[in-house]
Amino acid sequence: MDNPSIILSTFDGRLSRSTRLILYGRAALCLGFTAAPPEVAESKDVDAIIPLADLDRLSEDDSFWDAQEATNRELGPKGLYITHLFRADQVFLRHDWEKHLVPVLRPPTRWLRLFRPATVDLVLTKMMRGDDAQDMADIRFMVQHDQVTPAQIENAFSEAVIPELVELRDAFERAKPLVRELVRKVGAASE
């Protein structure tokens, strides 16, 4: 079983009510795409985005946070964690990203309702570290998998909501030409 499935199955087993979780990062690639690169199955953590509409409810849900802590304690010796739970306004996403969520059907869960952002939104999240080689490889996979076009990526760039931190704005600008080039090369290779 892949690491993200182990983490999410363990977490699901500690929950007691229906909970929406929006995956991003390598867990979203592993579980939300077919034929993902094998290395994404080795990811040591699961990252999630908390929509602003869910923030108050989730912040007050002690059972959710207790389940997260218990999962991390149980899986910590294996180096596996549910780590980054970011508010949506802390992540690069389009303004209407929630309208384009994709259900994630693996692993089977009782309480967790799993989703991932649309591919162009996942591409945006992967730009947060600028020109990071691993993130660019993940972007290449997503662009190839879903045949993302230059028009789609330019539209995502223009609609992206970037947090007001200079470092993040710089990272976005560093990543844009690399992502444009990846999209161009993938498109040219498929013609």
Local mean pLDDT, 10-residue blocks, the chain (191 residues): 96 93 95 94 94 87 93 96 89 95 96 96 94 93 94 95 91 95 82 58
Q: Domain count of the chain?
A: 1
Could you list the residue range(s) of the whole structural domain that residue 23 is in?
Answer: 3-190
Of 60, 58, 45, the closest CA to residue 112 belongs to 58
Those residues with Cβ within 8 angstroms of residue 105's Cβ, 6 or more apart along the chain or in another chain: 114
Is there a contact between 139 and 123 (Cβ–Cβ < 8 Å)? yes
Residue the block writes with tokens 């010796």: 77
State the pLDDT at residue 55: 86
